[in-house]
Amino acid sequence: MGIFGHMTHSLDLAGESVEFHPWGGLYWPAQSTLLLSDLHLGKVMHFRKYGAAVPREALLRNFDRLSRICTQFQPRTLCFLGDLFHSHVNREWDLFEKWARETGSRLQLIVGNHDIISPLRYEALGFELFQHLETGPFRLTHHPEKSPGRFNIAGHIHPAVRLGGAGRQTLRLPCFHLRANQLILPAFGAFTGTHALDPEPGDQFFALTGDAVVPLAVEQTGPTP
């Protein structure tokens, strides 16, 4: 990765041009808005607080990636599609506060099921909070919804796709999941799992390899061997 950051994948969504980032972010240049979903900050510390010694340094990756992706896009608005913080407040929140005070972006949060921290704390950091948000052709939510006439962008699922090939090869990769009028973002958080999807006709997947976004040309589906 050079000083220009990671290679993104550009495409048209509901008439708007957007870019998919290999770590799972979506950038919308026309509005200078960056969408990130399911960071689950605080999870590492939450585990440690309960006596499970997950390496402490792992929590730094989220902040490191946050900083780097913001440096790459310099977004005017940074919108989190829910599950920003995994648990109750813990000391990871302090790190998050520090980061939030230093960022130059306007901050928005679509509240997700894990977001149980008082809205006042977010508002004190300059966050705008929403249950959902309509912007341009998009309806941004945490849980995927059917929204007639709008294009829904959501998180929550932590989508992954499983691929099979000759020689009994299989791969499982986090992905952007696109279907008619809906896009599900992959989880941006480092210490989060994924959920493998069962594809339906018309689904499109953009797999993340860590340093690239690879649109899947595969049409055929079949059972896991």
Partner 1 sequence: MGVAVDWFERQGWEPFPFQQKTWKAFLEGRHGLLNAPTGSGKTYALWFPILLHHMQQQPNFRKQHKKGLKALWITPLRALSREIQQSAERITRDLEIPFEVGIRTGDTSNAERARQRKTLPDLLITTPESLQLLLATKGYHQLFRDCYAIVVDEWHELLGSKRGVQMELALSRLKTICPHLRIWGISATIGNLEQARQVLLGPDSEALVNSVLIRAALDKKITVKSIIPETMETFPWRGHLGLHLLEHVIPIIQASKTTLLFTNTRGQCEIWFQKILEKHPELAGDIAMHHGSIDKETRNWVEQAIRNESLRAVVCTSSLDLGVDFAPVETVVQIGGPKGVARFLQRAGRSGHRPGRESVIYFLPTHAMELIEASALQQAVREQAVEDRIPYLGSYDVLVQYLTTLAVSDGFRPEEIYREVSRTFCYQAMSREEWEWLLNFLVMGSQSLATYDEYKKVEVLPDGLFRVTNRGVAMRHRFQIGTIVGDAHMTVKYQKGGYIGTIEEWFISQLKPGDVFTFAGRNLEFIRIREMVAQVRNSSKKTSRVPSWMGGRLTLSSEMSKLLREELYSHALPGGQQSLEIQSLAPLFERQKLESIVPGPDQFLIETFQSREGFHHLFYPFEGRFVHEAMASLLSYRISLLSPITFSLAYNDYGFELLSDREMDIQMILDNDLFSAEYLLDDLQKSLNATEMARRKFRDIAVISGLVFSGYPKKGIKMKHLQSNSQLLFEVFRDYEPDHLLFRQAFRETFEHQLEEGRLRLALERISRQEIVWKACERFTPFSFPIITDRLREKLSSEKLADRIRRMTRILTRGGR
Place of tokens 């919308």: 28
Residues 152 and 141: beta-carbon distance below 8 Å: yes
The burial of 128, by beta-carbon neighbours within 10 Å (0-12 exposed, 13-18 middle, 19 or more buried), is given as middle
Strand duo 204-208 + 195-196: pairing: unpaired
**Which residues have CB under 8 Å from 44's CB, separation 6+?**
54, 55, 56, 58, 59, 92, 191
Contact pick of 55, 68, 71, 119 for partner 1 (by CB under 8 A): 55
- What's the token pair of residue 199? 């594809």
Contact pick of 2, 15, 149, 222 for partner 1 (by CB under 8 A): 222
Q: Which of residues 72-91 bind partner 1 (CB under 8 A)?
A: 86-87, 90-91
71 lies in the site for partner 1, by CB under 8 A = no
Distance in Å, CB of 159 to partner 1, minimum: 12
Give me the DSSP letters along 86-97: -SS--HHHHHHH
Q: Which of residues 99-158 bind partner 1 (CB under 8 A)?
A: none
7 lies in the site for partner 1, by CB under 8 A = no
Distance in Å, CB of 71 to partner 1, minimum: 21
Contact pick of 153, 173, 184, 185 for partner 1 (by CB under 8 A): 173
Distance in Å, CB of 138 to partner 1, minimum: 26
The 199-218 contact track toward partner 1, x by CB under 8 A, reads x-----x-x-xx-x-x-x-x
Contact pick of 56, 67, 68, 74 for partner 1 (by CB under 8 A): 56
Edge-to-edge order in the sheet of strand 77-80 = 9-13, 16-20, 26-28, 33-36, 77-80, 106-110, 128-130
Query: Site residues (CB under 8 A) for partner 1?
Result: 45-58, 61, 86-87, 90-92, 94-95, 161-171, 173, 190-193, 196, 198-199, 205, 207, 209-210, 212, 214, 216, 218, 220-225
